[in-house]
Amino acid sequence: MPTLASPAQASSGSRSTLPPLLWLCLAATWVVWGSTYLAIKYALISFPPFLQMGSRFLFAGVMLAVWMRWRGAAWPSALQWRNALVVGALMLGGGMGGTAHAEVSIGSGLVVAFIAVVPLLIALLNLIWGVKPTRLEAMGIALGLVGVLMLTQGSGFQSSPAGLLAISVACICWSMGSVLSQRSLPLAPGAMGFASEMICGGLVLMVLAAVSRESLVWPPAPEAVWAWLYLVVFGSLIAFNAYMVLLARAPAALAASYTFVNPVIAMLLGVWIANETVTRFEWYAVAVILAGVLLLLFKRPQKG
């Protein structure tokens, strides 16, 4: 019977023998992504949410595609472009667009703490393909959902129902896109696939920005520009591509393990740099969520 971690097992089935590339990818998703949520907050000073995310991913995607074409990579086929549009619309349009929209009214630390529900949603969505969680994974899902319910009762989310709705939609869209990219909607091979996804997702976000009548604050604040550049280089070109590599080459639970580290980093940075307020009850809720995610990372011992 397949388990949550079975879609793309590492060659030895053990994290201790992961190749160096996957360790670097893990470091990028764990640490770099943990800092990007505060960067999103600073970029919002001059860049509205959909415009910020759309321009970020479109710019990074075009840069990566041009680089890959210069190195001789083929353009994605029509079917691969279609897949990139669906996955990009979910992961970037709904996922990252919703995240930025939530940060308009909610602190970056609380937003990323809520995002820790993603591995739980991925585990539930994998049931559609017959991938059943182990007993520990099922306990992790239940514990994590309890933590999320606790977090929504904290002062941060209670004061912004719109922000809570935005981050809920973002988590669902990101989880659906992650599962579909693994299961039924393969992208073009290598970095060209990631580039096509960023281009398509960026275009979807720019359409959302136009529909929402967003406009850039001109002249943009220097800290907003630096934050936007950080998001393009570190958040998109490095960390996002690292995540897509993990989705393709690592177990699903391990690929989503960044949600165990990101909340701690983001909340500490939010309190330390941006003077965000996190109550003791909200810290307790995060601890419960992370305990659930940790259970998801334990694997059933191999028989025989």
Residue 186 lies in a domain: yes
pTM attached to this predicted model: 0.76
The confidence score (pLDDT) of residue 274 equals 72
Residue 151 lies in a domain: yes
The confidence score (pLDDT) of residue 144 equals 76
Residue 264 lies in a domain: yes
The confidence score (pLDDT) of residue 301 equals 43
For residue 274, count other CB atoms closer than 10 A to its CB.
Answer: 13
Q: How far apart are the first and last CA of the chain?
A: 15
Residue 245 lies in a domain: yes
The pLDDT tens digits of the residues spanning 73-97 come to 899 999 999 999 999 999 999 999 9
The confidence score (pLDDT) of residue 46 equals 93
Structure tokens at 121: 């949603």
The answer to whether residues 37 and 111 touch, using CB atoms and an 8 Å cutoff, is: yes
Residue 303 lies in a domain: no
Query: Residue 24: CB partners within 8 Å, gap ≥ 6?
Result: 242
The confidence score (pLDDT) of residue 283 equals 80
Residue 6 lies in a domain: no
Structure tokens at 32: 């770099």
Domain count, the chain: 1
The confidence score (pLDDT) of residue 303 equals 40
- The amino acid sitting at 206 is M
Residue 15 lies in a domain: no
* Residues of the chain under the 70 pLDDT cut: 1-17, 152, 154-159, 252-253, 256, 296-304
Residue 302 lies in a domain: no
Q: How far is CA 94 from CA 53, 81, 204, 221, in A?
A: 11, 18, 9, 26
- The amino acid sitting at 110 is L
The confidence score (pLDDT) of residue 88 equals 94
E-only strand ranges, the chain: none
Domain that includes residue 175, residue range: 20-297
